[in-house]
Amino acid sequence: MNTQLPVLVVLIPLLIAPLIVLVRNPTAAWALFGAAAVSSFALAVQCLLLVQEQGLLQAFLGGWEPPFGIEYRIDLANAIVLCLVSGIALLVTPMAKASIEREISEPRIYLFYACLTLCLTGLLGMAATGDAFNVFVFLEISSLSGYALIAMGNSRRALLASFRYLVMGTVGGTFFLTGVGLLYALTGTLNMADLAGSLTMGFDSRVLIAAAAFIVVGLSIKIALFPVHAWLPAAYAEAPSAVTAFMAATATKVAAYVLLRFAATVIGPVVVFATLPIGTALVWLACIAMVAGSIAAIYQTDFKRLLAWSSLAQIGYIVLGIGLGTDAGASAALTHMVNHGVIKCGLFVIAGVLVWRHGQATVANFAGMPQQSPWLFAAFVIGALGLIGVPGTGGFISKWVLLQALIAESAWVAVAAVLVSSLLAVIYCWRVVEIAWFGDSDASQPPAAASRTPVGATLSLAMLSGLVVYLGVHSSWLVELTAQAGADLFGVGR
């Protein structure tokens, strides 16, 4: 069906960004970002409902029909991603206000929100577009605004973190662009559906193999897959808390979605999973990421860094699902994108509250805090249980779907890696819980005055924690949705 709905999802935040620069008032800027999030979320949900009803949404920009013009093409997989990205933006909004006022000097706040809105635009665009070059354009929009956002962190280390991300991210973007260029040289088209149709012949083409390799490596950097993950922990730890909460839940997920899209449809499973050992390589790298990321998380003293390393491990679960090259694997990857997005966003919001109170979030200082703010730490426990994958949280659902996909493929090493990573998650999460509840509290801390939680953050956290539990006990709709999305991607009838 031809409709302009998919375009509007991306266009509204794109137009709001310059508007924010014009109004300049911090509160108005925040409200405008919220408006962008609300409208894209509403439209994304509308897209999802329409896709469920009608199968496919297509929008031709300027009326130029594909493959000549840019096409926005929404099926179940990217409808889910659109909902996730805009939904997370919406959930972060209440928390962002107080947190940003504390962490960023007032004259720059409007620029911050402008960048954040652009970043949102870029991520939504990457998910919505059906044009390979357009993916690159939006990738760069989200990345460039992302570099600026990270650099706004309040310590000087943020600049270094941002620079490292800039270098790595640019390399990644360039790789991706090179790959797309090769595909264009090979087929003369940039439309993703058209590419998928044109590439069905000539599997032994060296150009195609090079293109696949460039695209996978380029995207791996944006996903922060081991061993090209080094930019992520510093970037997440130094960025303003609201940025981390938003980007941790969305940026790597969207890149993973693009990888899934290229592997499953554009380049095609035959090349990616049969001719080339890309699937196998992704599975192994994901396994290493899951285990190594969790081990590194155990040794972190800074709460945000701990969560960042945990993210690297959790990204492994997503890539593992993609690397399997089956519809069940794709379903597991999409399920975990949603669940991990919600869980990790909540945890970074908690980190944001702690930074807002104390200026930093060092695990060793958590001792005695649960007595002063029981709800905040209850939310932490819910998030931690989600990371571990305890039943009753969304993390369990992800793990269930992923294990089913792995056992069906008899991928026993990966099964073991998933389980080991879960057990390591117990260690890094429970270390924090133990220090918080049973550690010797530091008397030098100012207690009562600093135990407030901003109203907005409370609102964000309540919704996110509620979602984690809700997705853990009532998830059949989500799993059915992702299963259908996976089946559509791989062209399997269900």
Partner 1 sequence: MNVVIVALAIPLLTALAVAFAGRSPALRNAVTLIGGGLLAVVVFGAWPTVIGGDRPTWEAWAILPGIELLFVLEPLGLLYASVAAGLWPITSVYAAGYLEGAGEKHRTRFFVCFALAIFAAMGIALAGNLVTLFLFYEVLTLSTWPLVTHKGTAEARRGGRIYLGILITTSVGLLLPAIVWAGLLAGTTEFRAGGILTGKASPAVLAVLYALFLFGLGKAALMPFHRWLPAAMVAPTPVSALLHAVAVVKAGVFAVLKVSVMIFGLDNLDQTDASEIMQWVAGFTILMASIIALQQDNLKARLAYSTISQLSYIVLGATMATSLAAQGAGLHIVMHALGKITLFFCAGAIYVAHHKTLVSELDGLGRKMPWTFAAFGLASLSIIGIPPLGGTWSKWWLTLGALEAEQYWIVATLAISSLLNIAYLLPIVARGFLRPSAEPPHAGAPQDHGHHDGEAAATMVAPLMLTAVGCLAAFVLAEPAIRLLQGAIP
For partner 1, which residue of 24, 105, 359, 480 counts as binding (CB under 8 A)?
A: 480
Q: Largest Cα–Cα distance of the chain, in whole Å?
A: 70
Which of 28, 45, 196, 403 is close enough to bind partner 1 by CB under 8 A?
403
| Alpha-carbon separation of residue 192 from 120, 258, 452 (angstroms) | 22, 11, 50
Nearest distance in Å: CB 171, partner 1: 37
336 is a site residue for partner 1 (CB under 8 A): no
CB of 382 to partner 1, least distance (A): 11
Map the footprint of partner 1 across residues 200-229, applying CB under 8 A.
Answer: none
Question: Minimum distance from CB of 48 to partner 1 (Å)?
Answer: 18
Which lies closer to partner 1 via its Cβ, residue 215 or residue 433? 433
Q: How far is CA 16 from CA 88, 121, 124, 427, 448, in A?
A: 18, 10, 14, 43, 40
> With binding defined as CB under 8 A, does residue 333 bind partner 1?
no
Angle of CA points 244, 247, 250, to nearest 5°: 145
User: Binding of partner 1 at residue 390 (CB under 8 A)?
Assistant: yes
Q: Is 470 in the site for partner 1 (CB under 8 A)?
A: no
| The one among 400, 450, 462, 466 contacting partner 1 by CB under 8 A | 400
CB 81 within 8 A of CB 135: no
Q: Tell me the C-alpha distance between 230 and 442, whole Å.
A: 33
Among the listed ranges 39-47, 229-237, 430-438, 448-456, the one in contact with partner 1 (CB under 8 A) is: 430-438
Q: Which residues contact 180 (CB under 8 A, 6 or more apart)?
A: 132, 133, 135, 136, 190, 211, 215
205 close to 268: Cβ distance less than 8 angstroms:
no
In angstroms, give the least distance from the CB of 449 to partner 1.
24
Cα separation, 245 vs 227, whole angstroms: 23
Q: How far is the CB of 308 from partner 1 (least distance, A)?
A: 23
Question: Interacting stretch for partner 1, rule CB under 8 A, among 65-73, 75-83, 187-195, 466-474?
Answer: 466-474
Q: Does 407 bind partner 1 (CB under 8 A)?
A: yes
Three-state SS at 74: strand
Residue closer to partner 1 (CB basis): 460 or 484: 484
Q: Does 475 bind partner 1 (CB under 8 A)?
A: yes
CB-wise, 21 or 420, nearer to partner 1? 420
Q: Does 404 bind partner 1 (CB under 8 A)?
A: yes
434 binds partner 1 (CB under 8 A): yes
Q: Which residues pair with 73 in a beta bridge?
A: 58
397 counts as binding partner 1 under rule CB under 8 A: yes
* Nearest approach, Cβ of residue 311 and partner 1 (Å): 20
Of these, 389, 454, 456, 486, which contacts partner 1 (CB under 8 A)?
389
| Residue 482: alpha-carbon gap to chain centroid | 16
Candidate list 29, 276, 343, 483; residue touching partner 1; CB under 8 A: 483
479 lines the binding site for partner 1 (CB under 8 A): yes
Among 10, 15, 27, 165, residue whose Cα is nearest residue 96: 27
- Does residue 28 belong to the site contacting partner 1 (CB under 8 A)? no
> 22-50 burial, b if ≥16 CB within 10 A, otherwise e?
eeeebeebbbbbbbbbebbbebbbbbbeb
Q: Are 207 and 185 in contact (CB under 8 A)?
A: yes
Compare residues 392 and 466 and give the one whose CB is closer to partner 1.
392
Separation CA 306–CA 300 (nearest Å) = 5
Tokens linked to 92: 């972060």
Binding residue (CB under 8 A) for partner 1 from 426, 450, 459, 469: 426
> Quick one: which of 119, 208, 217 has its CA closest to 176?
217
Task: Establish if 64 lies at the interface with partner 1 (CB under 8 A).
Answer: no
- Tell me the window of 77-85, 256-264, 318-326, 398-406 that interacts with partner 1 (CB under 8 A): 398-406
**Does residue 408 interact with partner 1 by CB under 8 A?**
yes
Phi and psi of 191, rounded to 5°? -70, 130
Q: Which of 64, 299, 375, 438 binds partner 1 (CB under 8 A)?
A: 438
200 three-state secondary structure: coil
Q: How far is the CB of 422 from partner 1 (least distance, A)?
A: 5
Q: Residue 382: is it exposed, middle or buried by C-beta count within 10 angstroms (0-12/13-18/19+)? A: buried
Please, which residue, 24 or 474, has the CB nearer to partner 1? Answer: 474
Kindly state the smallest distance separating residue 395's Cβ from partner 1, in Å.
11
Binding site for partner 1 (CB under 8 A): 385, 388-392, 397, 399-401, 403-404, 407-408, 415, 419-420, 422-423, 426, 430, 434, 437-438, 472-476, 479-480, 483
